[in-house]
Amino acid sequence: NAGVTQTPKFRILKIGQSMTLQCTQDMNHNYMYWYRQDPGMGLKLIYYSVGAGITDKGEVPNGYNVSRSTTEDFPLRLELAAPSQTSVYFCASSWRETEAFFGQGTRLTVV
Amino acid sequence: AQSVTQLDSQVPVFEEAPVELRCNYSSSVSVYLFWYVQYPNQGLQLLLKYLSGSTLVESINGFEAEFNKSQTSFHLRKPSVHISDTAEYFCAVSSSGGSYIPTFGRGTSLIVHP
């Protein structure tokens, strides 16, 4: 099993550009999450999904969008990138109350 | 609402010394508690978890944590640390009150000196 796979690992965007961060899990988990990690700030929840077709905002959703058309995939879309979106992004998945499994992260720089 | 407070942002310690990383949580309902470890340029990995049952939980590499409901704490301890334990450690809580979505603390950087 691959677990949670994120692509790309690194990306540099120019201000105003858009991109999609891909996330796939092969554990048939119903819950999926997107977090961003900034130094000293821990992980902040951007969006989450409790099943295919169901998504909801987390703590810091502005500037992002998500969709969940299948159990396996949970892409994160950045529209009109801004320097404040420079961060490390982690996708994770879990069964309801059990531990989350994390991808290796995407390091995004907006210049 | 649920929240997690990790009281120390950085904990320096010498090799073979004991260490405690502190974690306090708040939640109005029953909780599930986790410690994750993050090595440089990697994702988070589960270290140990409390879901129910015994309040003392252990990891395979010598860490342990105790769920203390009255103190709303879940401190992580290890009696003798190694250089390889140098990493960032995150405490997390989930509960029915938070739709089972994990909330993470800000992390504690454990630095083990030779």
Query: pLDDT tens digit string along A11-53?
Result: 999 999 999 999 999 999 999 999 999 988 889 999 999 999 9
Model confidence pLDDT, tens digit, residues B24-70: 999 878 889 999 999 988 999 999 999 988 889 999 889 999 999 99
Asked if A103 lies within 8 A of B90 by C-beta distance, the reply is no
On whether any CB of chain B is under 8 Å from the CB of A34, the answer is no
By CA distance, what is B100's nearest residue in A? A97
On whether any CB of chain B is under 8 Å from the CB of A39, the answer is no
CA distance B29 to B46: 23
Q: Strand pairing of A87-94 and A31-37?
A: antiparallel
Model confidence pLDDT, tens digit, residues A64-77: 999 999 999 999 99
Residue A33 CA to its chain's centroid (Å): 6
- 8 A C-beta contact, residue A43 and residue A100: no
Closest-CA distance, B111 to chain A, in angstroms, reads 15
